[in-house]
Each structure stands twice: as structure tokens, then as C-alpha cells.
């Protein structure tokens, strides 16, 4: 990739953030591009949504080049549809391969969901992260697709647990059994989204009334192999009206319940690469990076 100097976007001299063993980053959205280019000491890496940078040329590509000069990059997909029974669209995969070649991300991730189907002999995309039943057939499709993607891009990927708003009667295994087998069969890693775990635990509470959503999420973490985790996502959600589902909208600061689950995850898995997600109702850059600093402090406290 040809590089664009950061001074094209701000007057601050170019610098590189100090590397740490387990970095803490933020999801970079376009409202914060200039801040990120001018305040590189605030975070250790940035996560970019892969699909936003598939186009060649233009201001978006120039911005990507400038960001890549300053930060390690994690590419996070929202449209690959890893669990799709008809496979991954090859056109999508070619675009991802070109982006990986240009950016050389240190992490690549997507979701345990499906998106692709076929209509009138044409591949169509659902435009959403659709949940998978936890069955042998769904697991087979997911395993085959993850292997194919890893072979195509030449890099291990991370697969994120989904916030789901339905439960399937045909489930033949638990989500943790499903994902653990995926890791065993493909050598991929897991991207643990702790907010997704809590959203699901609130929306589908345990039949045992004494089990809190936090305790249910902690038990979920206990059932995942210690060596499977490659990254942790932290986010917040808006409280719903009475009787409604919580929607995983990434519109609020991380709440104390999620911070508590993060502390538990650090005890269970040790310090992990961590990302702060905030996609809606975006705050100032300083508020976002303060969340990253809190995660960094928790990692340091655990390490010490």
C-alpha cells in the first residue's frame, strides 16, 4: 500500500503508539477520523469495518492509508455470513483478500451468523447478522466456510458470538459446545463479545430464577476453552421500555455489569486484546478513549 503522511490531515508530527503485550483499541468511525490522526497516543490499535473499505481509490482509501501509517489495524466484518449454507460469495471474498493484502491487519474477524442465500440462481445478501441454530448441519457449514476463508486469505480469523433475538427449538447443543467444536475443527479463534452475552442473558433469562444474567454470562465463559480467545469486545446498550428486548445498539457507555464480566474474563483467560465498540450516539473522542483507558487499567491491575 502506498502511504499518505499523517500531516495531510493534521499539523501534529507523525508518531507511532508504543506497543504493549495486550493492546486496547477502539472501533474507528468516520466522525473520529481526524481525532485519531491527531491523537495517536490514546489507543493501541483501531478496528475498521472491512466492507467500508472495499472500494479502490478516493478519499476513503487515502484516509485508510493515513490511518494505517499510525495504527495497527484490526479488520472486523459484518457481512461475510460465515454460517451461510451456500458458502461465501466469492466476489466478497476477493475484495476482502485485496484489503487484507493492502492493510496487513493483525486481526481479522466476523460473526457466527449467516447472510447469503440464493434467489433465481443469484446470490443475495440478507443485510443483517442472522442467527444460526446450534445443530450439526449448521456447524458443518460454519466449519467449512471458516476453513475456506482462512485458506483464501492465509490468516487465522476470529469468530464472534452473536447477540440473537430468537432461540431455535431444533438446537442439539449449547452455544458454547457449538463454538468450542468450531475452534477445535478449524483452529480459528473466538472474539468474545461480552455485551452480546449479557444482552442474550437478559433477553432469555435462566429458568432458574436465582441465576442472574451476570452469573449466566460467567458460566458461559467457563464453558469456553481457555486457549480459544483471541480478542474481547466491550460495548454498551440503551435500556428498553418495560417488557421489550434489549437491542445490542452500541449506543451507550459500557455499564458496570459488563465491566464486572470483563474482570471475570481477565481472571478466566488472562489479559486479552480488547476493543471498545461504540457505533451509535457517538461521544467525543476523549470519552471513547477514556473507556479504552479503563480497560487498559484493568489489564494492568490483573497483570500485576
Supply the CATH number for residue 294's domain. 3.20.20.150
Q: Is the pLDDT of residue 20 over 90?
A: no
Half-sphere exposure of 232 (CA within 13 A, CB side): 27
- Domain membership of residue 129 (yes or no) is yes
- C-alpha grid cell, residue 175: 452455544
Instruction: Check residue 243 and give its pLDDT.
Output: 67
Q: Which residue has the higher pLDDT, 261 or 166?
A: 261
Torsions phi, psi for 291 (to 5 deg): -65, -40
CA 235 – CA 248 distance, rounded (Å): 9
Q: What is the mean pLDDT of residues 194-214?
A: 90
Cell of 203: 433477553
Average confidence (pLDDT) over 38-61: 91
Which whole-number Å values give the CA distances from 83 to 52, 87, 100, 176, in the listed order? 21, 8, 21, 16
Looking at the domain assignment, is residue 99 inside a domain? Answer: yes
Look at the chain and report how many structural domains it folds into. Answer: 1
Residue-wise over 253-267: b if at least 16 C-beta within 10 A, else e?
bbeebbbebbebbbe
The whole-number average pLDDT for the span 163-178 is: 93
pLDDT of residue 1: 52
Q: Would 1 be classed as within a structural domain? A: no
Cβ of 25: how many Cβ atoms within 10 Å?
A: 25
The residue among 40 and 94 whose pLDDT is bigger is 94
Check residue 19 and give its pLDDT: 34
| pLDDT attached to residue 119 | 84
pTM value is 0.91
Mean pLDDT, the chain, as a whole number? 90
- Count other Cβ atoms within 10 Å, centred on residue 91: 10
Range of the domain at 82: 6-303
Q: Is residue 37 part of a domain?
A: yes
Q: pLDDT confidence of 165, banded at 50, 70, 90?
A: confident
- Portion of the chain with pLDDT greater than 70, in percent: 93
C-alpha cell of 35?
481525532
In whole angstroms, what is the distance from residue 163 CA to residue 78 CA?
13
* Extended beta strands in 112-224, E state: 114-119, 122-130, 158-160, 189-193
| 124 located within any domain | yes
Grade residue 162 by pLDDT with cuts at 50, 70 and 90: very high
Would you say 175 and 161 are in contact if contact means Cβ atoms under 8 Å apart? yes
Least trusted range by pLDDT, from 98-107, 175-184, 231-240:
231-240
Sign of CA dihedral 226, 229, 231, 237: negative
1-10, 18-27, 137-146, 187-196: least confident range:
1-10
11 pLDDT tier (thresholds 50, 70, 90): very low
Amino acid at each position: 500500500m502506498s502511504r499518505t503522511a499523517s500531516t495531510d490531515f493534521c499539523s501534529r508530527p507523525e508518531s507511532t503508539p508504543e506497543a504493549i503485550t495486550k493492546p486496547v483499541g477502539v472501533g474507528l468511525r468516520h466522525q473520529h477520523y481526524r481525532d485519531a490522526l491527531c491523537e495517536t497516543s490514546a489507543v493501541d490499535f483501531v478496528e475498521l469495518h472491512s466492507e467500508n473499505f472495499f472500494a479502490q481509490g478516493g478519499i476513503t482509501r487515502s484516509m485508510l492509508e493515513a490511518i494505517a501509517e499510525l495504527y495497527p489495524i484490526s479488520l472486523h466484518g459484518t457481512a461475510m455470513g460465515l454460517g451461510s449454507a451456500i458458502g461465501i460469495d466469492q466476489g466478497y471474498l476477493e475484495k476482502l483478500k485485496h484489503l487484507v493484502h493492502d492493510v496487513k491487519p493483525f486481526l481479522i474477524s466476523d460473526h457466527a451468523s449467516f447472510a447469503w442465500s440464493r434467489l433465481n440462481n443469484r446470490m443475495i445478501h440478507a443485510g443483517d447478522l442472522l442467527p444460526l441454530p446450534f445443530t450439526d448441519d449448521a456447524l458443518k457449514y460454519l466449519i467449512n466456510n471458516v476453513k475456506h476463508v482462512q485458506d483464501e486469505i492465509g490468516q487465522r480469523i476470529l469468530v464472534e458470538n452473536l447477540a440473537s433475538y430468537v432461540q431455535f427449538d431444533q438446537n442439539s447443543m449449547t452455544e458454547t459446545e457449538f463454538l468450542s467444536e468450531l475452534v477445535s475443527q478449524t483452529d480459528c479463534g473466538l472474539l468474545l463479545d461480552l455485551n452480546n452475552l449479557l444482552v442474550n442473558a437478559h433477553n432469555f433469562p435462566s429458568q432458574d430464577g436465582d441465576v442472574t444474567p451476570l452469573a449466566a454470562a460467567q458460566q458461559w465463559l467457563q464453558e469456553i476453552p481457555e486457549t480459544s480467545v483471541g480478542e474481547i469486545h466491550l460495548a454498551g446498550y440503551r435500556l428498553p421500555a418495560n417488557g421489550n428486548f434489549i437491542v445490542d445498539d452500541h449506543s451507550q457507555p459500557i455499564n458496570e455489569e459488563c465491566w464486572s464480566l470483563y474482570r471475570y474474563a481477565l481472571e478466566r483467560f488472562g489479559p486479552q486484546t480488547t476493543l471498545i465498540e461504540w457505533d451509535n450516539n457517538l461521544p467525543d473522542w476523549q470519552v471513547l478513549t477514556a473507556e479504552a483507558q479503563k480497560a487498559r487499567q484493568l489489564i494492568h491491575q490483573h497483570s500485576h
